[in-house]
Amino acid sequence: MGEHVIEVRGLVKRYPDITAVDGIEFDVSRGQVFSLLGPNGAGKTTTVEILEGLRDPTAGEARVLGQDVRSGYRRIRERVGVLPQDFEPFDRLRPREAVTYWARLFDHDVSEEAVASIIETVGLSDRADTFALNLSGGEKRRLGIAMALVGQPDLLFLDEPTTGLDPGARRELWTLIGDLKKKGRTILLTTHYLDEAEQLADDVAIMNHGKIVAHGSPSALISQFGGGTTIVLAGAGRGGSQALTARGIAAELHGDDVFVHVPMAGQVRPMLAKLASIEIPLTEIYTKRSTLEDVFLKLVGARMEEGVLAA
Ligand code: ATP
């Protein structure tokens, strides 16, 4: 298997009414953070659950830590840690108890030192003896990651680890995930937040309708699918978009905003001057460097927001 912790070839999952995963291929190397992105229903959870051994593929191959997901389920479970989507700890367990309980359940080290060390890794030492009920949302996710870390897994599946958290707690979790990566863990991250993937992932695969529509490092994808700068005419609406198109300026309408893409840095000022000369009602005009969100908009034609696919 070499350096690949996950290998996926021609993977297909069909349900009676839909092909949820439609012949995807990707590899995840040891020590990488690999992010699966896509709008609701793209097939991410199905893919991850196949890799976790929870669902059988219809066709194709998937190997995790060298084991075929169909036959090696038990061996895979011993060496992976999972933070499930919408993880909620038991209210009446304290982090120290929850980690001990979990370690015992899976026959891992339950010594005081081992448990304290995991709790420290996730930054919960000060809250180790507080009922989970009284933990903040971010602390509860940290506890979930602590439970995923019992048994020192080679591979972590983090399924939307920061959904629903406030921006401060999200950033703290990013730091924790970055630290886990530095310690050599391989992480498969599914997320609805493109900034999160851009910040954390070495490689991303964007899924849509069961297929991978783009795959590569965030920076490679940004330059492949239109690096450069976007001028945003906020609130310019369909009328603004039509006014620009009529003057030969390529404009894209996203919600009520109009985007004008400028590939070369030197073209930004002339384009701003040109736009200023056209009478368009708008609320604000600003520029932004291309991000993974722009790649996503281009490929999937939609904005990905927390659990919602907005037009
Ligand atoms: P989300 O971001 O909402 O979690 P996703 O990308 O994880 O979406 P999946 O949950 O993998 O997408 O679903 C892919 C498609 O397969 C969807 O159309 C979904 O309705 C369908 N699907 C998922 N599980 C089942 C099932 N057990 N039986 C039938 N159809 C299913």
pLDDT (tens digit, 9 = 90+) per residue, 220-278? 898 887 678 889 999 999 999 999 999 999 999 999 999 998 888 788 899 999 998 89
Query: CA-to-CA distance for 169 and 12, rounded, in angstroms?
Result: 36
Ligand 1 center to residue 21 CA distance, Å?
A: 9
Ligand 1 and 56: CB distance under 6 A? no
Atom of ligand 1 nearest to the CA of 46: 11
Question: For residue range 185-210, what is the model confidence (pLDDT) as tens digits?
Answer: 999 999 988 999 999 999 999 999 99
At residue 303, does pLDDT exceed 80?
no
Question: For residue range 27-41, what is the model confidence (pLDDT) as tens digits?
Answer: 999 999 999 999 889
Ligand 1 center to residue 296 CA distance, Å?
A: 19
At residue 173, does pLDDT exceed 70?
yes
Ligand 1 and 180: CB distance under 6 A? no
Position 264 scores a pLDDT of 80
Ligand 1 center to residue 159 CA distance, Å?
A: 14
Question: For residue range 43-73, what is the model confidence (pLDDT) as tens digits?
Answer: 999 999 999 998 999 999 999 999 999 998 8
Question: For residue range 66-102, what is the model confidence (pLDDT) as tens digits?
Answer: 999 999 888 898 899 999 988 999 999 999 999 999 9
Ligand 1 and 222: CB distance under 6 A? no
Position 145 scores a pLDDT of 96
What is this structure's pTM? Answer: 0.83
Ligand 1 and 305: CB distance under 6 A? no
Atom of ligand 1 nearest to the CA of 85: 4
Domains annotated on the chain, with CATH: 4-223 (3.40.50.300), 228-289 (3.30.70)
Ligand 1 and 287: CB distance under 6 A? no
Mutate to test the pocket of ligand 1, among 13, 37, 40 (most ligand atoms within 8 A of CB): 40
- Tell me which residue has its CA closest to atom 9 in ligand 1: 43
At residue 309, does pLDDT exceed 80?
no
